[in-house]
């Protein structure tokens, strides 16, 4: 499906999967709203996209604040007039045993991986439904970036597992609710991704030793595949592991 003329909002767009997804969608002709907390990185990405013939809007926002999350969605819609695709990529993974992890780290994961997801999705839904009704594609898309940690629980990742298992359940229920509205919901579950593996500590790092990680661009390609399917096709769940990852 041709995406030229559509508008996407990508959270967590300042780095990693979010930034790679914004670049990939821009190559498909999508106008991209770049949302994250780090203005300088967003501005550099927007300049890159515009320099290659695309269009992008920088929206600096802390999505754990429901008012600011709603404002970010509104800013994208006010600027471009519609919203066709929402990619919820913002997230954080802080792995350690329950004994050694801090409550602050647990709270950070719940705030960004769960609360921010809910804030943005709630604000975006009316505009996505409107796009599915009025835009030429006749469909809109929500893509939530989960993890293999939403399928398999492992040591050192109890609260991260909590957030991703929760995202999986939320996404499936939302998918069923939005069927009649022609808003597709897809859950992408990447395995070990390069930049994530590099940030692991101690026992968590030992889990990925010897695994050749995915690159953010691999996940971005999967997202592009999902949102370019014809209206009659809905990819509801896509698990994307590193080739030699066992779990």
**CA nearest 11: which of 154, 114, 127?**
114
Question: CA 96, 217, 205: angle at the middle one, nearest 5?
Answer: 20
List b or e across 65-79, with b for residues whose CB sees 16 or more CB atoms inside 10 angstroms. eeebbbebbebbbee
230 close to 1: Cβ distance less than 8 angstroms: yes
- Give 109's contacts (C-beta < 8 A, 6+ positions apart): 92, 93, 94, 159, 160, 163
* Options 160, 170, 214, 216, the catalytic residue: 160
127 is catalytic: no
Please identify every residue annotated as catalytic. Answer: 160
């Amino acid at each position: 499906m041709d995406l030229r003329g559509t508008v996407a909002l990508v959270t967590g767009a300042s780095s990693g999967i979010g930034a790679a997804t914004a670049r990939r969608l821009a190559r498909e002709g999508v106008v991209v709203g770049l949302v994250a907390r780090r203005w300088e990185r967003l501005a550099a990405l927007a300049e890159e996209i515009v320099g290659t013939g695309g269009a992008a809007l920088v929206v600096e926002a802390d999505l754990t604040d429901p008012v600011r999350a709603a404002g970010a969605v509104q800013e994208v819609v006010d600027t471009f007039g519609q919203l066709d695709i929402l990619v919820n990529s913002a997230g954080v993974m802080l792995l350690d045993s329950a004994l050694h992890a801090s409550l602050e780290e647990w709270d950070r994961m719940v705030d960004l991986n769960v609360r921010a997801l809910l804030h943005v999705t709630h604000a975006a839904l009316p505009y996505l439904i409107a796009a599915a009704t009025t835009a030429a594609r006749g469909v809109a898309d929500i893509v939530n970036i989960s993890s293999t940690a939403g399928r398999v629980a492992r040591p050192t990742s109890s609260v991260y597992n909590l957030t991703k298992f929760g995202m999986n359940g939320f996404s499936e229920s939302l998918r069923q609710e939005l069927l009649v509205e022609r808003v597709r919901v897809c859950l992408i579950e990447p395995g070990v991704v390069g930049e994530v593996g590099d940030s692991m500590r101690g026992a968590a790092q030992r889990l990925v030793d010897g695994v050749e990680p995915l690159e953010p661009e691999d996940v971005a390609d999967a997202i592009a595949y999902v949102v370019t399917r014809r209206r009659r096709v809905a990819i509801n769940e896509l698990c994307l592991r590193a080739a030699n990852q066992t779990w």
